[in-house]
Amino acid sequence: MAQVAKLALEDGTVFSGISCGALGEVDGEVCFNTSMTGYQEILTDPSYRGQIVTMTYPQIGNYGINEEDSESARPHLAGFVMREASRRHSNFRSEGSLQDFLNRWAVVAIEGIDTRALVRRLRPQGAMKSVLSTVDLDEESLVAKAQASPGLVGRDLVREVVPDRSSEWQQPLSHWAIHPLSDDRRRSQNSDGDASPHVVALDFGMKWNIARHLYNMGCRVTVLAGNATADEVLALKPDGVFLSNGPGDPEPVTYAIETIRDLLGKVPIFGICLGHQLLSLACGAETFKMKFGHHGANHPVQDLKNGRVMITSQNHGFAINESTLPGSLQSTHRSLFDGSLQGIRRTDKPAFGFQGHPEASPGPHDAAPLFDHFIKLMRERRAEG
């Protein structure tokens, strides 16, 4: 017999469906993702810590799960919402089913609800606090729990997802990626000191494909926890520092803001998503909570320098208030969906940030050249001595 599950929103709305994952109860901010593929990457993206993710595509799980597509060691989202969870999967790369994956990692999930109705409620009202449960089916109780849940604002969720030790990244991109660096070319580049920049990646909840991109482009990548100090970073003598994506509100992550401020001007810096926001805060800008955020793989972003438009992968619920940019920061990219700021650069130091995900996974690779710019900055700085 199917197990009933219920999703309750803080505004009093309750959706009833069927459990298709682990039994239990979770709270989180409910958001929606418009990607048609990439559900495994979404499930394992640490940026979704504290969120209940609704997939707008109607059938999820139809190509199964495989080890190669994970973006971290385990799922980090609070819960998962679908219109229909596919009971069969067909793909030669598949190593198991979505349901088995959800149960193995104790992810509470619901299917059989009208996800269109849910999204149409979130669009005008904004992302809401919510509770997803298979154990408490009393609707008044669930709504009260949703209203009392902590939400995302003011919470430091980075501390919950940072690695417990540093590491040297050695995993290349698979043959599915574009422009992979062959093993022979990598050995050749690594034998040439000028061609193998050393990147220290500050991990605030980093997707693995970021490190894979840097590694495949010839970089030596050392991953440090996002709460590392500037002295700990500089002790590794990096050619550049990468600031990763991560979950939640950037403003409470004061230790990272202080570290970035101490690093500015000493090494080239590139930040994406949360890293972009932390870099902006370190330079004196301000952030704000978005109405329902950007979560999907089809977001058009314009390069303000040349007018070109790229289609990008996005996952963030906070953004930089462009009107608060100090004189040292210049706007470089803007969303064509809502006009929000998507990119910044320091005018006096080698540092820049991008709100979207140039490594994609899932999503398009239009913004991948941003990695090339980062490597160019590191090589220029090394040439300067």
Active site residues: 273, 357, 359
- Collapse the DSSP code of 311 into the 3-class scheme (helix H, G, I; strand E, B; otherwise coil) and give the result: strand
CB environment 335-351: b (16+ within 10 A), e (fewer) = beeeebbbbbbbeebbb
Give, to the nearest 10 degrees, the angle between helix 254-263 and helix 274-282: 70
CA angle 196/197/198 to nearest 5° reads 115
DSSP state of 385: -
Classify strands 341-346 and 351-354 as parallel, antiparallel or unpaired: antiparallel
Amino acid at 78: A
Gap between the terminal Cα atoms of the chain: 69
| Contact between 273 and 357 (Cβ < 8 Å) | yes
Q: Smallest Cα–Cα separation from 216: which of 366, 371, 352? A: 371
Instruction: Output the CA torsion 287→241→363→205 (10° steps).
Output: -70
Asked if residues 72 and 180 have their Cβ atoms less than 8 Å apart, the reply is: no
Residue with tokens 């958001």: 31
Name the nearest CA neighbour of 245 among 197, 202, 298, 302. Answer: 202
Give the residue among 103, 134, 108, 124 at the shortest CA–CA distance from 51.
108
CB atoms within 10 A of CB 242: 25
Give the number of other Cβ atoms within 10 Å of residue 77's Cβ. 24
